[in-house]
Structures are given as structure tokens and as C-alpha cells.
């Protein structure tokens, strides 16, 4: 049905690597529910972040994430 994979130090940050929901079950709140389940596992001030595919940005915005920077140029600079 769906899964979420995240990496955290339980202190400063939590990186959500994957959220996937079977297309048959999308739109039922499962992805949002997975993120909501993760939140109480973290410390109060832990920053939760992810890198999203452009077509997924509207979903993440809808469940409370904010777009703080387009990292495409930063990424290319980092690997040059």
C-alpha cells in the first residue's frame, strides 16, 4: 500500500528519502499519514526535510512542507 523511508540523528535533522503509495491507494491520506506517524518519533526541534521531484511539490506543500530553495544549481556547483 505505502511506505516511508527516513534517516535521522534524532537530534537535528531527519531526511525523508522515499515516500511511495501504490497508485490505487493515492489520494486517501496514506502519504500524509506516514509523515504524521514519523513526526512524534523525532525531537521537537528536529528539522524534517526532503528533496522532491518537481511533480511532487504540490503534494508536499499540501501536507505542510515549505519549499525553501531550488537546489538544482547548488547541486551542480557542489559536484563540479
Specify whether the CB–CB gap between 8 and 14 falls below 8 A. yes
Specify whether the CB–CB gap between 42 and 15 falls below 8 A. no
C-alpha span between 7 and 3 (Å, rounded): 14
* pLDDT at res. 80: 45
How does strand 2-8 pair with strand 47-50?
Answer: unpaired
* SS3 (DSSP) at 52: coil
Q: Quick: pLDDT tens for 7-65.
A: 998 888 999 999 999 999 999 999 999 999 999 988 888 888 888 888 888 898 898 88
Buried b / exposed e over 16-28, threshold 16 CB at 10 Å, is beebebeeeeeee
Class of domain 2-79: alpha beta
pTM surpassing 0.85? no
* In the chain, domain spans: 2-79
Amino acid at each position: 500500500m505505502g511506505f516511508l523511508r527516513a534517516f535521522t540523528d534524532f537530534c537535528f535533522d531527519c531526511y525523508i528519502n522515499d515516500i511511495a503509495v501504490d497508485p490505487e491507494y493515492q489520494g486517501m491520506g496514506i502519504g500524509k499519514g506516514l509523515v504524521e506517524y514519523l513526526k512524534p518519533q523525532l525531537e521537537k526541534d528536529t528539522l524534517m526535510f526532503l528533496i522532491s521531484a518537481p511533480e511532487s511539490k504540490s503534494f508536499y506543500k499540501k501536507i505542510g512542507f515549505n519549499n525553501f530553495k531550488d537546489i538544482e544549481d547548488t547541486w551542480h556547483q557542489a559536484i563540479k
